[in-house]
Amino acid sequence: MAETTQSPPVLHRLAFLKGAWGITLALLALIALLDPPQIVPTVIFTAEALLGTAPFIAFAVLAVAYLKASGAESLLARAFEGNPARMVVMAAALGGLSPFCSCEVIPFIAALLAVGAPLGAVMAFWLASPLMDPAMFAITSGTLGFDFAVAKTIAALGVGMVGGFTVLALSRTPLFNDPLRAQPAKSSCCSSAKPFSGAPVWKFWQEPERRASFSDTALTNAVFLVKWLTLAYVVEALMLTYVPAEWIANILGGTGIMPIILGALVGAPAYLNGYAAVPLIDALLAQGMTQGAAMSFVIAGGVSCIPAAIAVWALVKPHVFAAYLAFAFVGAIFAGMAWQWVA
């Protein structure tokens, strides 16, 4: 009788086909089936794009692994010390410049809120955190240019501080005076190991546990970035080949505020992953998307993407979550208008 069950190793190998890798292979298979002459140019385009981005990927992977292994998460608590206004500024800066995942710090943020940390500072962190980090800055700079990366970083800090100070000013109103759920929902959108406690150990290589953390974090992030960027570059190649440039120019091109608003509206549902969005924006810009619409797309999409939204939804009541999304949308439009004027 033939064996009808699969062994665990086989199942483990098949698991490779899930998610981004599976979608990438499916797209390439469709190209090979429906338009065979295009398969080789698509693969070459993807490979060249990955090679061009490789130095930025390497920097991002090593930087994040170093910060994780050294235990830099402990510095997060310093953003929530001192007077409330200082907390908002520090929380926005730490959220926009650090590699900490919004979901990974859910228990930490829950504890801070439970002991009375101002919601304004937490909101500033929540808004800035999904928009920029060292890895995102490196990938964005390598693909969309250093100026765009700097502008997005400034936008992340600005959106975070505006949202934080608004919540701080309205903290005694019914909208924000009782923000927490009775029992915060649990989330597992981040799979990182438990952060190190205590003061950071910058010479992490002297401790075996921290060396293991560095290796694990570097490998995990390298695989994560490569798989999503591979998918993104395949999608970019398809867009450049099959999507008429005039379509993009008609919808997200032109002058005025409407393309920027549309960029924010499209960005929210279309934004699957921050790193995958970078090549997507590159393709859209090549086909006529305005600079302002590109900025509003990445700001609105970054804040409202599922991992970032879960980090907020898990802890606060629906009306506070709605305010979080409103800050993101309005901030995206203003950031898009500013970048459109500057670029």
Cα 66 from chain centre: 19
- pTM given for the model: 0.74
Would 117 be classed as within a structural domain? yes
- Please list the helix, strand and coil fractions of the chain in percent, rounded to the nearest 5, in that order: 75, 0, 25
Greatest mean pLDDT among 16-25, 100-109, 214-223, 261-270: 214-223
What is the CA 192 to chain-centroid distance, rounded?
15
- What pLDDT shows up at residue 181? 74
Residue 104 clears pLDDT 80, i.e. is over it: no
Task: Report whether pLDDT(15) > 70.
Answer: no
Residue 35 has pLDDT above 90, yes or no: yes
13 in a structural domain: no
DSSP string, 173-186: STTTSS-B-SSPPP
Is residue 15 domain-resident?
no
Exposure string of 180-213, with b = 16+ CB inside 10 Å and e = fewer, is eeeebeebebeebeebbeeeebeebeeeeebeeb
Q: What is the mean pLDDT of the chain?
A: 81
Residue 1 lies inside a defined structural domain of this protein: no
Taking alpha carbons only, the member of 109, 247, 124 closest to residue 180 is: 109
Residue 40 lies in a domain: yes
Closest CA to 69 of 189, 221, 215, 191: 215
> What pLDDT score was predicted for residue 43?
94
Q: Is residue 192 part of a domain?
A: yes
Structural domain including 273 reads: 22-342
Provide the domain count of the chain. 1
| Residue 192: pLDDT over 70 | no
Q: 263, exposed or middle or buried, with CB in 10 Å at 0-12, 13-18, 19+?
A: buried
Residue 42 has pLDDT above 90, yes or no: yes
User: In this model, does residue 184 exceed pLDDT 70?
Assistant: no
DSSP state of 316: B
Cα separation, 255 vs 292, whole angstroms: 10
Residue 47 in domain: yes
DSSP 171: T
pLDDT tens per residue, range 286-303: 888 899 999 999 999 888
Residue 187 has a pLDDT of 46
Q: Cα(240)–Cα(107) distance, rounded to whole angstroms?
A: 43
What pLDDT sits at residue 6?
Answer: 47
CA distance 66 to 68: 5
133 inside domain: yes
Which of 183, 116, 180 has its CA nearest to residue 317? 180
